[in-house]
Structure 1
Amino acid sequence: MAPSERPLTTKVASGSPYQLDDNQVTRAASALLRHIRTKQEEKEESSKKKTLIGDNDSDSEEDAPKVHEPIWLIMTTKKHVVDKNRLKPGKISIPHSLNTSASLSVCLITADPQRGVKDIVADETFPPELRNRITRIIGYTKLKERYKSFESRRQLLAEHDVFLADDRIIMRLVKTLGKTFYKSSKRPIPVRIERTEKVDGKRVKKDGKKPPKSERQAQFASAQVLAKEVEKALSCAPVHLAPATTTAVRVGTSKFTPEQLLDNIKAVVQGLTDKYITKGWRNVKAIHIKGPNTAALPIWLADELWVDEGDILDNPPETEEKDKKNEKKRKSSETTSTPAAKKTKTSKKTADDEVDVKETLKKRKAKALKASA
């Protein structure tokens, strides 16, 4: 069906506030956290009872730490996000990091050659605590060769907590890693590893020529720049938009306080409306927060159903539209009834002709009999 050229809706009296209500967000975050923690306590209590009656001989369930479930922000837009530049994976800085574990395992996927990045991470100027978190560095070519099977990709996914990828190859990883990664919450986060030349604080455009093999290490950034990029990626909220009207961004976990969730939600909403959502707040229809297995709680709903002023009708001609519809129905009914009427008249005429023929034949027969007598 071709898109209608008529405006989409009529103008309403009140307009959108275009800002989050801190009290509403805090109430929703508190209710969501309370619900998740209650369910976790019930689950733990149930597992303890099973252990006591002998259903589970090991005490690993009792000693296991509480699982911190992710909290997601769901933003619904009025129109699809179709700009290819906005659909590229990105990140938004948040006040409270999602990766604070001391035993965090990071896998860094780089453009070839990988040896250049390994040398940079092993450099003395690279922070030791950050180097200990990066447990694997793998080049794009080796990634394709070693992890072709579904099982090998699953194993790689389970071995690391966070995956960072060179922003030059981030779009090629969708096909290389497949649905094993991109249906999980461990999608690769882009980082800038390539060295950029600046003049007067502005980047110098490339000439498009590849450097010779002997100078390829020079294309990587310095140890300080790479460390800064990795720290920034670990303290951000990854953004992966799809060409649709719904976007999900992880903004926290169940161990956060309502105030921490509020800070992260405000930062993510600001980042989405400023950089990723076309038309910004004007294109936002609703914002919700939810856990993995909970209902979505609304924190912001739009009063407007349109994006552009050209989509608005100031005086909707409701009566005129109804009259046009009734006129179309009447004409349609007349058109369908006309052939039937013609058919009835034709059939009646044919019946009368048959009667006349019979009468004529009877008269001729009687006359013939009389003449023969």
Structure 2
Amino acid sequence: MGKSLAVAKKGETSVVPISSEQTLKASKALLSHMQKAAKEAAASADKKNLLEESTEAETPIWLTATTKRNVRDTNKLKPGRVTLPHPLNRTDPETTICLIVADPQRFYKDVVASEEFPEALGKRITRVVDLKHLQAKFRTFEAQRKLFSEHDVFLADERIVNRLPKALGKTFFKTTAKRPVPVKLHRPDKKADGVKSTPGQKKAQKEQGSSVKHAKSAGDMAKEIEAAVGAALVHLTQTTNTAVKIGYAAFTPQQIAENAEAVVTALVEKFIPRGIDNLRAVYLKGPETAALPIWQTEELWLDGDKDVLAEGSEELKALEEKKEKANVGKKRKAPAADEQVKEEEEQVDAAAEVEKPAKKKNKKAKVDSESNDAKLDAQIKERKEKLKKQKKAAKAAMEE
């Protein structure tokens, strides 16, 4: 791809804005920093595990693109795909794949097990399940978590991918780590492309009806699955920042740079509304590194005349009046809250005043009880003295 300036000017119409030289330079600097940080972390570790394998193959490299306006009005759960010059997971034999298909699953299991399907890829596909069995077997949260942990990549027939959020729930869709990637396993029109079905597929089509009538051949399915496994995924949300994984720390700087150019081209042409005019900046970064800029625009606004209002313009005045009205509405809530607090304080004070007489009454009752005890003691003392006098008089009478 041709070189371009690192800073875009207003009105620039280049489809691929980033400079190959600048991207390669940033890739070298990023990988060098990540390798140095990994060595320092390993040297400072208290205990070294000799059996621990290198994590370079698992440390991702991200391309982040910031836009001037949100790329979408709502979050999109179906990711987009970008074919990379250097695929992410296509050649890794340890990557396990779960293939979610439309009914019936037996047809697709037979395709994966057939001789026309590549044997190496077939071994990596450890589960083939249709939507009906998926909803029946993995209804509970525990079953969904088990399925999530058993496979590295999840692929889904694009005809049913929009129904998976309800079937798989937050376990799969709260993050973008293992969201099902859409794959096209059928042909819109079998006669149009002139591809003939295998004898096994013809038999299955005859027995199972029109549900697999337009299914692709085993070889075409394998190509589609390999392309999806190695592709970069674009998750569009209601934000001005989009991150796409374009490689790993084990990649070379040249591979990172070429993947970055491919992703930026796809973002500008397919995913970002209004293309390069809406693009603000592009960065490369690792999981724990700063973002290295490889391109940025001089024009900060998408529509300068509309986004930046002139001083004293009627549109600016109308906007300020609208804000003032909104603030007035918010200020009305404060007195209501103060009145509520005041009422609560008055209720507390009233309750306290009610308790005060009760305390006085209790004190008076305590004084009364103490005075009654004193009277009783006086009566007892008086009776004792009276008995003593009676005993003394009786004793004197007996002596006479």
Equivalent position amino acid for 2:54 in 1 = K
**Structure 1 position 312, deviation (Å):** 7.2
Q: Give the conservation status (yes or no) of the 8 Å contact 2:66–2:240.
A: yes
Asked if residue 170 in structure 1 is aligned to residue 167 in structure 2, the reply is no
Q: What is aligned with 1:146? A: 137
Asked if residue 307 in structure 1 is aligned to residue 305 in structure 2, the reply is no
1-structure distance, mates of 2:119, 2:71: 41
1-structure distance, mates of 2:80, 2:180: 10
2-structure distance, mates of 1:37, 1:154: 33
Q: Give the conservation status (yes or no) of the 8 Å contact 1:114–1:138.
A: yes
Asked if residue 110 in structure 1 is aligned to residue 101 in structure 2, the reply is yes
Q: Which runs of 4+ in 1 moved over 4 A?
A: 83-87, 198-202, 316-321
CA spacing shift, 1:44–1:312, aligned 2, 3 Å: closer
Q: What is aligned with 1:188? A: 180
Q: What is aligned with 1:67? A: 55
**Structure 1 position 266, deviation (Å):** 0.3
Q: Give the conservation status (yes or no) of the 8 Å contact 1:196–1:221.
A: no
Structure 1 segment 1-373 matched on structure 2, within 5 A: 14-15=9-10, 18=14, 19-47=17-45, 49-51=46-48, 61-68=49-56, 69-82=59-72, 88-99=78-89, 100-182=91-173, 183-197=175-189, 214-308=209-303, 311=306, 318=311
What secondary structure is seen at the aligned counterpart in 2 of 1:101? coil
Larger Rg: 2
Give deviations 1:297-320, integer Å, cap 9, x for gaps. 21111111233475377xx85488
1-structure distance, mates of 2:29, 2:11: 25
Unaligned runs of 5+ in 1: 1-12, 52-60, 203-210, 329-373
Q: Give the conservation status (yes or no) of the 8 Å contact 1:86–1:277.
A: no
RMSD value, Cα: 3.0
Q: Give the conservation status (yes or no) of the 8 Å contact 2:74–2:237.
A: no
**Structure 1 position 14, deviation (Å):** 4.6
CA spacing shift, 1:225–1:14, aligned 2, 3 Å: closer
What secondary structure is seen at the aligned counterpart in 1 of 2:161? coil
Which TM-score applies when normalising by structure 2?
0.66
Q: What is aligned with 2:369? A: none
Unaligned runs of 5+ in 2: 1-7, 195-205, 322-400
Give deviations 1:310-366, integer Å, cap 9, x for gaps. 5377xx854889xx99xx9xxxxxxxxxxxxxxxxxxxxxxxxxxxxxxxxxxxxxx
CA spacing shift, 1:201–1:220, aligned 2, 3 Å: closer
CA spacing shift, 1:71–1:270, aligned 2, 3 Å: same
CA spacing shift, 1:15–1:140, aligned 2, 3 Å: same
**In the comparison of the two structures, how many residue pairs are matched?**
292
1-structure distance, mates of 2:148, 2:155: 12
**Structure 1 position 167, deviation (Å):** 0.5
2-structure distance, mates of 1:16, 1:256: 35
1-structure distance, mates of 2:289, 2:295: 18
What secondary structure is seen at the aligned counterpart in 2 of 1:135? strand
CA spacing shift, 1:122–1:320, aligned 2, 3 Å: closer
2-structure distance, mates of 1:267, 1:252: 12
CA spacing shift, 1:277–1:201, aligned 2, 3 Å: farther
What secondary structure is seen at the aligned counterpart in 2 of 1:20? coil
Please, which moves more after superposition, 263-272 or 37-46?
37-46
Q: Give the conservation status (yes or no) of the 8 Å contact 2:301–2:307.
A: yes
Q: Give the conservation status (yes or no) of the 8 Å contact 1:116–1:220.
A: no
